[in-house]
Amino acid sequence: MKTIQSYKLSITWSDGKTEGLATHLPEYLEDELKVYFQELEYLREEHDHGMRDEDYHFSIDQEKRI
């Protein structure tokens, strides 16, 4: 089984400065992310073993504006 080894999470302020948050998350958010990552690992494994009809698509890192 392939596992997620790391992740990045950063924010960009209106003045253009960027701040990394991955190592400073509240415990409840980190716990939720771990659950989500586990779901992604299972989904990837199902695709790798032909258990799903649709392809698994890796996506490039995209910015999400709020």
Q: Residue 47: its pLDDT value, please? A: 85
6-63, pLDDT tens digit by residue?
A: 999 999 999 999 999 999 999 999 999 999 999 999 988 988 888 877 776 777 878 8
Q: Measure CA 31 to chain center.
A: 13
Evaluated on CA atoms 51, 2, 35, 7, the torsion sign reads negative
Q: Residue 34: its pLDDT value, please? A: 95
pTM of the model: 0.76
* Residue from 33, 57, 32, 29 nearest 43 by CA: 57
